[in-house]
Structure 1
Amino acid sequence: MVPLSHAAAFAVAALVIIVIPGPNVLFAIGRALAHGRRAAVVSVLGSMAGTAVPVIGVAVGLGAILAASAILMTIVKIVGAGYLIYLGAMAIRDRKKLTLALRSADAEPSTGRMVRQGFVVGATNPKTIVFFAAVLPQFAVPEAGALPAQFLTLGAIAITIQLVSDTAWAMAAGTARSWFARSPRRLEAIGGTGGLMIMGVGASVAFSGSN
């Protein structure tokens, strides 16, 4: 079982990463701005199901390996931290793409299609994959029990936080559609700030000691 202190620390780290606009949030905002809150919330549920894919992959594929190799754990941490910094830089560079969500005027897709699209976004979100592969293992304690079970527990915490956060983004965007439409630069500012925060988290992971 994951020690409570580690679970709490992981929850804080997950919150910092999750609330930053990334592919999942952008997708939810786009749905909300184009089709309203219902479409956005359905899409969020689909992306949450997709997010479970990298969680299970980390738990099944990395648990035993990381438990047996401190060197590999360090490599995973460094590579993941570097990629987080890269993602932050790309978020800053591509922040203008957030305004594309304001240009969609298609008819609302079917519920099944929205769920499927959300699933793909969640399962292939690079920020989520890197976070689970490189950051999540840092909060597990081999002495506390089987690592796969700990990874699944921590992953469930992250998914719960993500569900609340992404739903809040979707509801806010759906409620404030006209506010965003009046000033697309507001979305650009959100994207730029989020990029800086991702880079900061990546740097902190790179220089943190083992847990």
Structure 2
Amino acid sequence: MIPFHELAFFVLAALILVISPGPNMIYLISKSITQGKKSGLISLAGVVGGFLFHIVMVSFGLTAVLLAVPLAYTVLKTLGTVYLLYLAYQAIKPKSRNIFDVDKSASHDGPKRLFTIGFLTNVLNPKVAVFYLSFFPQFIKPEYGSVFTQSLELGVIQVFISFSVNFIIVLTAAGVAAFFAGNPFWVKVQKWFMASVLTYLAVKMVFSKAK
């Protein structure tokens, strides 16, 4: 069982990462604004299904890799650090896109297509697999018990956080889009805050110790 203080930091990290703009968030916001909350929720169901797919696959992979190849921890830690710094740069790079600016002329999709695209957007996004493979090992230790069980434990927590945050985003997308459209200053604040937190997580990961 992973200690509470480790889980508390994982929850904070997962929360920061889920509110970091990416393909999933952009897709959910787009469908919520252009087709309404119901379509956004159907799309969210597909995204969650994609998360569950990745978690099962990664849990088996981490169990095999971390127990068989100790050096893999260093490799995964490096990948995780680079990934977090990449996200930080993406947040503040010049002319970075406001995720609430969507094409309202896009065609409307039916429930089946909304779910399928949400699922595939997540499953086929290599960044999701990189996140799990590089971030989860920082919180998993053999002395805490089964690596597979710990991976699933972290996965369930991450999915719950992701679902909760994205659920709120779907329900409030139109209002938040209007707020940012009228307050460009807060768009910059949000981007720099996100970049700062992601950089902090990357630095912490650099100095984390091997298992």
The 2-side partners of 1:196 and 1:74 are apart by 24
The 1-side partners of 2:6 and 2:200 are apart by 20
Q: Which residue of 2 aligns with 1:51?
A: 51
Q: Which residue of 1 aligns with 2:63?
A: 63
The root-mean-square deviation of aligned C-alpha atoms, in Å, is 2.6
Question: Match of 1:70, SS?
Answer: coil
- 1:138-157 paired onto structure 2 within 5 Å: 138-157=138-157
Give the percent of matched residue pairs that are identical in Structure 1 and Structure 2: 27
The 2-side partners of 1:64 and 1:90 are apart by 32
* Number of equivalenced pairs: 211
- 1:14-163 paired onto structure 2 within 5 Å: 14-93=14-93, 96-98=96-98, 101-163=101-163
Confirm or deny: 8 A CA contact 2:100 2:177 kept in the other structure.
no
- Larger fraction in helix: 1
Question: Match of 2:102, SS?
Answer: helix
Q: Which residue of 2 aligns with 1:2?
A: 2
The 1-side partners of 2:120 and 2:94 are apart by 21
Q: CA offset at residue 180 of structure 1?
A: 4.8
Q: CA offset at residue 35 of structure 1?
A: 1.6
The 2-side partners of 1:35 and 1:181 are apart by 19
Per-residue CA deviations over 1:91-122 (Å, capped at 9, x if unaligned) read: 33376433574323234310110111111222
Q: TM-score w.r.t. structure 2 length? A: 0.85
Which segment is superposed worse, 161-170 or 185-194?
A: 185-194
Structure 1: runs of 5 or more not aligned:
none
Q: Which residue of 1 aligns with 2:167?
A: 167
Confirm or deny: 8 A CA contact 1:26 1:98 kept in the other structure.
no
Confirm or deny: 8 A CA contact 1:85 1:199 kept in the other structure.
yes
The 2-side partners of 1:13 and 1:155 are apart by 13
The 1-side partners of 2:210 and 2:201 are apart by 15
Question: Match of 2:97, SS?
Answer: helix
The 2-side partners of 1:122 and 1:184 are apart by 29
Letter in structure 1 aligned against 2:45 = L
The 2-side partners of 1:33 and 1:82 are apart by 33
Confirm or deny: 8 A CA contact 1:92 1:193 kept in the other structure.
no
Confirm or deny: 8 A CA contact 2:55 2:155 kept in the other structure.
yes
Structure 2: runs of 5 or more not aligned:
none
Provide closer, same or farther for how the CA distance between residues 49 and 58 of structure 1 changes in structure 2, counting only shifts above 3 A.
Answer: same
Confirm or deny: 8 A CA contact 1:52 1:123 kept in the other structure.
no
The 2-side partners of 1:202 and 1:14 are apart by 13
Confirm or deny: 8 A CA contact 1:21 1:194 kept in the other structure.
no
Letter in structure 2 aligned against 1:75 = V
The 2-side partners of 1:118 and 1:70 are apart by 35
Q: TM-score w.r.t. structure 1 length? A: 0.85
